[in-house]
């Protein structure tokens, strides 16, 4: 398999601006979640029967930055899950990403995650 060109998260955070961090950790994250919901093609999701296809491992460790464009590179992280598991995983990831933003953009104490 060819190597994907770009910067890993640990490289990106060394030079990223506050605005770039906001974009990746908050805006891109929200766009990603919205795309999972749009992919279902449903106007209403029945929690008892509908399953969601999404990346259950969309974390900083699986992110590559190509210029200003973030991309997840973990094909085995995609899966179908029930609505309740989807909501739990999305909440977990949102908390992780927002904590990364706060730590890097505002504390910037050199702590590597």
2 lies in some domain: no
Share of the chain above pLDDT 70, in %: 93
Q: Has residue 79 got a pLDDT over 80?
A: yes
DSSP string, 25-85: IIIIHHHHHHHHHHHH--SS--TTT-EEEEETT-SGGGEEEETTEEEE--GGGEEEEEHHH
Q: How far apart are CA 26 and CA 47, in angstroms?
A: 26
The number of domains in the chain is 1
Note down the domain range covering 69: 7-107
* Predicted structure pTM score: 0.84
- 108 or 109, which is more confident? 108
| 29 domain-assigned | yes
The CATH number assigned to the domain holding 74 equals 1.10.510
Nearest to 55 by CA among 34, 75, 28, 85: 75
**Which whole number is the average pLDDT over 96-113?**
78
Task: Evaluate whether residue 75 is within a structural domain.
Answer: yes
Residue 113 lies in a domain: no
Predicted confidence (pLDDT) at residue 113 exceeds the cutoff of 60: no
């Amino acid at each position: 398999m060819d190597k994907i060109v770009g910067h890993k998260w640990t490289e990106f955070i060394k030079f990223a601006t506050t605005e770039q961090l906001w974009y990746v950790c908050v805006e891109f994250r929200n766009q990603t979640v919205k795309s999972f919901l749009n992919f279902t093609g449903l106007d209403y999701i029945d929690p008892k029967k509908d399953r969601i296809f999404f990346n259950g491992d969309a974390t900083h460790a699986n992110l590559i930055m190509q210029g200003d464009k973030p991309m997840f590179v973990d094909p085995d992280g995609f899966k179908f899950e029930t609505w309740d598991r989807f909501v739990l995983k999305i909440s977990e990831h949102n908390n992780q990403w927002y904590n990364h933003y706060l730590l890097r953009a505002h504390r910037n104490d050199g702590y590597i995650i």
